[in-house]
Amino acid sequence: MSTIKKIGVFTSGGDSPGMNAAVRAVVRTAKNFDLNVVGIRHGYYGMIQKDFVELDGISVSNIIQQGGTILKSARSADFKTEEGRAKAAQNIKDYDIDALVAIGGDGTFQGATSFYKEHNIPVIGIPGTIDNDLSGTDETIGYDTALNTAMDAIDKIRDTADAHDRMFLVEVMGREAGFIALETGIAGGAELILLPETLTRMPEIKSSLSDVFRAQRRSSLIVVAEGDETGGAVKLADELKGDFGKYDMRVCILGHIQRGGKPTARDRVLSSRLGAAAVQSLMDGHTNVMVGLVNGEVKVSPLHNTWSKKKSINYELLELAKMLS
């Protein structure tokens, strides 16, 4: 698309480790095509407020290892309205921005889809969310780092659980998707893993825990996704106290620690590949799509499909977790 001379890049929604690496890749790949790049700070909110900053190769130096996002992120109620999107579109045009690269999750991509349909500004999505819940890519940026952060915390919790013969209920992020809970539960040797994708039956949970204690294990660990129907680790602990009150029970909510920290090597490479692919896709004439990694290869998917088609967990891993517990 020879008409593209200037690209706008922004991060939106929840931050994830590797977003900075993706911004860096977008900027440096664009420079390779002699394109100018504008950073849009604070996502869609900044788009409406004209919070723009010119980016070049120097401005993205030494950020590949940083967590968070140098472009900041924010939610925008105004952008959810036609009037707000119209104002954002006018600002984009006034600044001579020809195309957008949106780094974020399903909410970001829903906004980008509406924006494209209403104002026909070319847009490419890069999947940046620790939840790993977007179709069209095997992994999202930040997921691997969040897994390792949660696993490291669970390893430390397991140490103190063994020292005191305690039962720990560890809550990890995942309001609608249990990818983090499933894989950290397996990696951390959890006795039970509770996910939004599976029906949680309290009698089965209590029966499983009874088996654990009959086996005279020194400690037990339950990993709970925050979106599990039990209502999270605190409510689950309250439900279990009646039957297991004699055991020393503790709750640990990992929370936003999972969003922070330096991205792993895997996330840095993924971010770099997808950032470069986003610019290349624009140059190849693609728009309203997301770039993702499928079986090791970069693929493009319609932006609408990334959130409308629910990404499934690996149920073989769930059966493995049950067997190993």
Type and span of the H or E element at 217: none
CA distances to 30, 113, 114, 131, 203 from 107, rounded to whole Å, are: 25, 10, 11, 13, 36
The answer to whether 160 and 194 have CB atoms below 8 angstroms apart is no
DSSP string, 144-168: HHHHHHHHHHHHHHHHHHHHHT-EE
Report the alpha-carbon angle 26-30-31, nearest 5.
120
Tell me the C-alpha distance between 278 and 286, whole Å.
9
Given its phi and psi angles, is residue 50 left (phi above 0), alpha (psi -120 to 50 degrees) or beta? left
Q: Determine whether 131 is an active site residue.
A: yes
> Cα(135)–Cα(105) distance, rounded to whole angstroms?
11
Q: Mark out the alpha helices in the chain (DSSP H runs).
A: 19-32, 43-49, 82-94, 106-119, 143-164, 179-187, 202-214, 233-244, 265-283, 303-308, 315-324
Angle between helices 143-164 and 265-283 (to 10 degrees): 160
- Its sign, for the CA torsion 151, 156, 160, 162, is positive
List 51, 98, 131, 228, catalytic entry: 131
Q: Which residues are catalytic?
A: 131
